[in-house]
Amino acid sequence: MAALQIRAIPTGRVAVKLESKPNQIKRYLLTVYESLNFINAESGYCYARGIIILTRQPKIYIAGHRGMVGAAIVRTLQQQGQTNLVTRTHAELDLTNQVAVQAFFEAEKPDQVYLAAAKVGGIHANNTYPAEFIYQNLMVQANVIHQAWRVGVQKLLFLGSSCIYPKLAPQPMTEDALLTGTLEPTNEPYAVAKIAGIKLCESYNRQYGQSHGVDYRSVMPTNLYGPGDNYHPENSHVIPALIRRFHEAKVSHAPTVTIWGSGTPRREFLFVDDMAAASVHVMNLPLATYGAQTKPMQSLINVGFGSDLTIAELAQSVSDAVGYGGKIVFDASKPDGTPRKLMDSHRLNALGWQAKVNLADGLRMAYHDFVQHHTN
């Protein structure tokens, strides 16, 4: 991490020196009441008359910034005035490539990391490509977390998933349910990788927390939706799938939309910008505050909306947001899945965060994004 040295010199000017090269001064937010009038390239000092206030912004790397969650984290950080953000597309940096990730961290040396890059998919993709799901997620996490530690990153946030909890975990699911039972078989490889990610963070904290100030945290989002979602016809989650179905029914004036199952299972949904806000909130909590709600070997925090609704209620809300005028029919001969999946978010609430975007508003924004980016 580059540091600033500031010293007053007898002429009344203020001299500022960066440990690193002088031209890196541009990376710092400089609020200067009288403009910087000289940068001496040789000495690395820059001089200003009058009062100079220097605020160094942390350099923040958002892994997976083109994904739904990563993009929302970038939006949230930018809204908060953070300008020192580092991103790389998948094509520019394959996070499964250990050598490339090492070179990237050595070159950029970020202060903070949001790890929102992952191989993500629905039941069909998880079932069809289990090797890719476990291998790629393990590699991405191990590379990013280890290389972050190597270059001295002290603050990192890892994004997990609610599928880390046992299939039959008591509802609502608390963080204590981790590793208390058998996982849902369809996405077990993905869930095992995510559990490994949590344990990587905890292990680096336990071994290097005291000595190196390492403070790596994990958040477990419930089902997310919003701008940047995946609307693939076969491979999307329930809300984007419903948005597409109702939109197509509206455009083709179809009289009914048939939904698989009885419509009675209950699920929880969180708008992605709320997830991003929660991520930034958790990242920025003082260590003592975070530590008061977590344990060294159970450091994860659930991020949920706080209440659930039935699939029938959800379908009606999506239909309303899309403006579909037809009827919704449920095909109860098709399987329902787990009767209820709800996160217990009391820990996060106790840490001072609550979801803000209600379902109707969130669905309206998601539909707007769908129309803009996924229709002609």
Backbone angles phi, psi at 257, to 5 degrees: -125, 125
Q: Provide CB contacts within 8 A for 333, sequence distance 6+.
A: none
Question: Does the protein bind ligand NAP through residue 334 (CB under 6 A)?
Answer: no
Question: Does the protein bind ligand NAP through residue 117 (CB under 6 A)?
Answer: yes
Q: Which is nearer to ligand NAP, 90 or 327 (CB)?
A: 90
Residues 82-111 interacting with ligand NAP (rule: CB under 6 A): 90, 94-96
The CB-of-356 to ligand NAP minimum distance in angstroms stands at 18
Q: Provide CB contacts within 8 A for 255, sequence distance 6+.
A: 326, 327
With contacts defined by CB under 6 A, name the span among 8-16, 33-41, 63-71, 365-373 that binds ligand NAP.
63-71
Q: Which is nearer to ligand NAP, 44 or 221 (CB)?
A: 221
The CB-of-63 to ligand NAP minimum distance in angstroms stands at 7
Q: What is the DSSP letter of 58?
A: P
Q: Which is nearer to ligand NAP, 144 or 322 (CB)?
A: 144
Q: Provide CB contacts within 8 A for 130, sequence distance 6+.
A: 188, 189, 190
Query: Considering only CA atoms, which of 171, 170, 165, 172 is closest in space to residue 188?
Result: 165
Query: Considering only CA atoms, which of 269, 152, 268, 155 is closest in space to residue 218?
Result: 155
Question: Does the protein bind ligand NAP through residue 310 (CB under 6 A)?
Answer: no
The CB-of-373 to ligand NAP minimum distance in angstroms stands at 13
What is the C-alpha separation between 67 and 316, in angstroms, rounded? 27
Q: Provide CB contacts within 8 A for 375, sequence distance 6+.
A: 247
Asked if 40 and 47 touch (Cβ cutoff 8 Å), the reply is yes
Question: Does the protein bind ligand NAP through residue 224 (CB under 6 A)?
Answer: yes
The CB-of-367 to ligand NAP minimum distance in angstroms stands at 17
Q: Which of 69, 156, 157, 278 binds ligand NAP (CB under 6 A)?
A: 69
Q: Which is nearer to ligand NAP, 137 or 171 (CB)?
A: 137
The CB-of-170 to ligand NAP minimum distance in angstroms stands at 20
- Say which of 61, 114, 190, 204 is annotated catalytic: 190
Q: Provide CB contacts within 8 A for 192, sequence distance 6+.
A: 134, 183
Residue 190 annotated among the catalytic residues of the structure:
yes
Per-residue CA distances from 67 to 44, 64, 120 (Å): 39, 6, 10
Query: Considering only CA atoms, which of 233, 235, 203 is closest in space to residue 216?
Result: 203
Residues 133-192 interacting with ligand NAP (rule: CB under 6 A): 136, 140, 159, 161
Q: Which is nearer to ligand NAP, 52 or 173 (CB)?
A: 173
Q: Provide CB contacts within 8 A for 134, sequence distance 6+.
A: 189, 190, 192, 193
Asked if 226 and 72 touch (Cβ cutoff 8 Å), the reply is yes
What is the C-alpha separation between 236 and 213, in angstroms, rounded? 39
Q: Which is nearer to ligand NAP, 95 or 145 (CB)?
A: 95
Q: Which of 110, 221, 227, 362 binds ligand NAP (CB under 6 A)?
A: 221
Question: Does the protein bind ligand NAP through residue 119 (CB under 6 A)?
Answer: yes
Question: Does the protein bind ligand NAP through residue 341 (CB under 6 A)?
Answer: no
Question: Does the protein bind ligand NAP through residue 118 (CB under 6 A)?
Answer: yes
Residues designated as active site: 190
Binding residues for ligand NAP (CB under 6 A): 64, 66-70, 90, 94-96, 116-120, 136, 140, 159, 161, 221, 223-224, 237
